[in-house]
Structure 1
Amino acid sequence: MNIFKVRKWRKRGMGIFISLLIIFALTISVAISIVNSYKKYIYNLEDIPNDNYAIIVLGAGVRNDGTPSDILADRLETSLEVYKANIGSVFILSGDHGREEYNEVRSMKDYIMKDNIDEKIIFMDHAGFSTYDSMYRAKEIFKVDKAIIVTNEYHLPRALYIARKLGIEAYGVKSDKRGYQLMDSYKKREVLAQLKDFFYVNILKPEPKFLGDSIPVNNSDGRVTEDEK
């Protein structure tokens, strides 16, 4: 192959690479822009109309002793504020219980129960392994139509985007009460998570790892979810 053909193929290959790079960058930009447009559904407590909302609390880490991490404790505390404002009527605590020795939802329920909340209105979602799984299961298992989602501000646009795309009339209340360790890394990872869930919701539409029988929160007893997945 002479030098002119080599240059021609190199130039063509570089053109294809640049085109793919541009397409990828545009896809990321569009996905993130769409997801972040859902910030408009983040409300202060006093601005949310009273209704029969399910309060969905999204899990985070627990300590070795089984107690919630700071970031999770503040999500739970915020969910109690939502409940006491008479905006939500039931809790869905969604977290990771994929291993016997690691049980986020047990820790979450124990925290809520310390506030003398009726156990019947506390539903445990043991298979909330991701934000997508939590929202999908809220709709399909717990039959949620209206929800207040409680999590950190950086996380809320994606959670609201997924929920509303799945047919839940969702509003968000941010749980940030202090500074948190590793928050910068959480925010960086969130960019990739937004892109992933954009494709999940619009193209791939996978089912969660676990589904199961329906447990409608409007006419069920939350205690039946103690060992459910």
Structure 2
Amino acid sequence: MRRLLRKILLWWWRLLALAALTLTLLLGVNAWFVGKTVDRINKTDAACTSMDVGILFGTSQYLRSGLPNPHYYGRINEAARLYREGKIQHLLVSGDNRTRYYNEPKRMQQDLIYRGLPETAMSLDHAGFSTFDTLKRAKQVFNVNQALLITQDYHLPRALFIAESLGIEAYGCQATGPSWTGMKNILLRELAARLRTLGDLYIWKREPRILDDPQPLDF
């Protein structure tokens, strides 16, 4: 019985050590991402850096509950404002178009047109299945070397880190989003995504699911 208890305690200590190591790694990676990108994230609307191209990251229009997604509308409204104020000249609208019935870029384009943007001010990337895919395709397919990234503040450090690693000179402009009380699960997923990003970039060196022939933006 004592031997069994000792084995159980040993396994508990190992699990606790593994959990502590994982937490330390996540926090360390998080601090690294934030430290490398904090000076390129614009904190106020007026401070958003002017650049020719803005990259708008896709997300679903509605939550699983059926309610409007505040991430979606925050990004749409910020992109429209930046264009109206002359902070960007052209938008690369990137998102998931996994089926004919689910088309994030087209939906975003329609809402941007409704907000006064001309269709000629936008190019659509229908294979932006992830942050990594969007930025890798921006560089290799659309020949984007400088861009203003438009998304929420928690997402910007990872997006900017990837952009820099791919050779894109980028700044971030914060879009509004949900209140912090509704962000706990999202923030935990983001911490894990930052760790996974290091693997994408430096270990298994992944490629986008779809990498088309070059289609440089024309504007």
TM-score scaled by length of structure 1: 0.79
CA distance in 2, matches of 1:45, 1:157: 18
Amino acid at match of 1:57: L
Equivalences for 1:15-94 in 2 at 5 Å?
24-37=22-35, 38-43=37-42, 44-52=44-52, 54-63=53-62, 69-94=69-94
Amino acid at match of 1:56: I
Q: Offset at 1:176?
A: 1.1
Encode CA deviations 1:189-215: one digit per residue, 9 max, x unaligned.
101001001221222221100010111
The answer to whether the 8 Å contact 2:127/2:210 transfers is: yes
CA distance in 2, matches of 1:73, 1:105: 13
Q: Offset at 1:63?
A: 3.4
CA distance in 2, matches of 1:13, 1:178: 40
SS at match of 2:89: strand
Q: Which residue of 1 aligns with 2:132?
A: 132
SS at match of 2:90: strand
CA distance in 1, matches of 2:180, 2:70: 7
SS at match of 1:62: coil
Equivalences for 1:103-142 in 2 at 5 Å?
103-142=103-142
The answer to whether the 8 Å contact 2:49/2:148 transfers is: no
Amino acid at match of 1:137: R
CA distance in 2, matches of 1:213, 1:200: 22
Amino acid at match of 1:39: V
CA RMSD of aligned residues (A): 3.0
- Greater mean alpha carbon deviation, residues 169-178 or residues 154-163: 169-178
SS at match of 2:171: strand
The answer to whether the 8 Å contact 2:51/2:148 transfers is: no
Specify the structure having the higher radius of gyration (Cα).
1
Pair 1:183-2:194 in alignment: no
Amino acid at match of 1:30: G
CA distance in 2, matches of 1:25, 1:69: 30
CA distance in 1, matches of 2:67, 2:100: 16
Q: Which residue of 1 aligns with 2:210?
A: 210
Equivalences for 1:142-221 in 2 at 5 Å?
142-176=142-176, 179=179, 182-217=182-217, 220=218
TM-score scaled by length of structure 2: 0.82
Query: Percent same amino acid at aligned positions?
Result: 29
The answer to whether the 8 Å contact 2:61/2:73 transfers is: no
CA distance in 1, matches of 2:14, 2:184: 34
CA distance in 2, matches of 1:75, 1:192: 23
CA distance in 2, matches of 1:13, 1:70: 43
Q: Offset at 1:31?
A: 2.0
Q: Offset at 1:35?
A: 1.2
For the structure 1 residues 56 and 181, does the alpha-carbon distance in structure 2 shift closer, same or farther, using more than 3 Å as the test? Answer: farther
CA distance in 1, matches of 2:82, 2:45: 7
Unaligned runs of 5+ in 1: 1-6, 222-229
For the structure 1 residues 24 and 71, does the alpha-carbon distance in structure 2 shift closer, same or farther, using more than 3 Å as the test? Answer: closer
The answer to whether the 8 Å contact 1:96/1:126 transfers is: yes
- Greater mean alpha carbon deviation, residues 196-205 or residues 26-35: 26-35
Q: Which residue of 2 aligns with 1:224?
A: none
Q: Aligned pair count?
A: 211
Amino acid at match of 1:168: I
SS at match of 2:163: helix
